[in-house]
Every structure is written in C-alpha cells, then in structure tokens.
A = this chain, B = another copy of it.
Amino acid sequence: MNAPVSTPTSAPALTKNQSLVFDVLDRADAPMSAYTILDRLRDHGFRAPLQVYRALDKLLEFGMVHRLESLNAFVACAHPESECCGKGHGHGHGTVAFAICESCGHVSEFHDHEVDHRLGAWAKAKNFKPAKTTIEIRGLCGACAA
C-alpha cells in the first residue's frame, strides 16, 4: 500500500508522500525549506522532518527538484526545455544555474552551455572528476531592482 502508484504519464511514479512534497514545491513561488514544507503538510499526516527529507531525496534523484545550497532550500525543477545537455535519463538535464532574488524570492533556472564547457575544461585540465556542480547567483531580479 506504500508502493509507488504508476501513472499514464512519462515521469517516474511517485509515492503519496513524494507527490505531496512535490506538489507543495511546484505550487510555491519561492524556494522552501524542508521544515516549511513539513508545516504545510501537517494536515496531510506529516509529523516528522524525515518524511519530508526522504521524499526530497527521491525527488532530487529523479531530477524533479533542486536544492539551493546557499539557501538550504528546495525548488521544483523549472528548467527551460532546451535539452542541449540532457543526460538521457528521462527528464535529466546538465548543469544548471540559478538566479535567486533576495527581495521577492523568485528563482530563475537556466543552463549556459559555455559555462558548463569552461568548468568542464578546467576540470579536465586539472584531472578533477566533477560529480555535481552548484551555480547560484544571489541578487535582485528585474522587478525588484527597479
């Protein structure tokens, strides 16, 4: 009864908890911390942080959610469809960058092939094997900077 429920869609089947967490993030207009997500889901039976973290771990693994390291918070994936660096595992995409507005909280997710390339070139030259790359720009969005 706790197994994932398969759906007619292409995305990986999500369990109930994973769906609840993803829906909260997908509807949010700013990054959310795990504990904020927890509070939003108290009415759906969530009682402990682990319920959130376990769902987040899976959603991160599926590539449906991103963690913003500079905020200790999470966002639903909203990367543009440009699959130029897709890695082929279904939804997958290459390294992505985030622009985070410190005033309104809005996050823009984008991919820049040249940035990826330059960082990859540095790694290759130094014989460094990248596993995960974080790029986050904090600042003010166009609307808030005006």
Q: Which residues of A contact B (CB under 8 A)?
A: 69-70, 97, 99, 101-102, 108, 110, 112, 114-115, 118-119, 122-123, 126-142, 145
Besides A127-B142, A134-B136, 16 other A-B contacts (C-beta < 8 A): A99-B126, A101-B128, A102-B131, A112-B122, A123-B137, A127-B141, A128-B139, A128-B140, A129-B139, A129-B140, A131-B140, A132-B137, A132-B139, A133-B137, A133-B138, A134-B137
With contacts A69-B69, A69-B70, A134-B70 taken as known, whether A99 is within 8 angstroms of B128 at the C-beta atoms is yes
Q: Are A129 and B114 in contact (CB under 8 A)?
A: no
Pick from B108, B129, B133: contact of A136, CB under 8 Å:
B133
Complex Cα–Cα for A130 and B137 (A): 6
Q: Which residues of B contact A118 (CB under 8 A)?
A: 112, 114-115, 118
User: With A69-B70, A134-B136, A136-B69 known to touch, is A145 a contact of B119 (CB < 8 Å)?
Assistant: no
From B99, B101, B131, A139 is in contact (CB under 8 Å) with B131
Q: Are A123 and B97 in contact (CB under 8 A)?
A: no
Bound: A129/B135 CA distance, A: 16
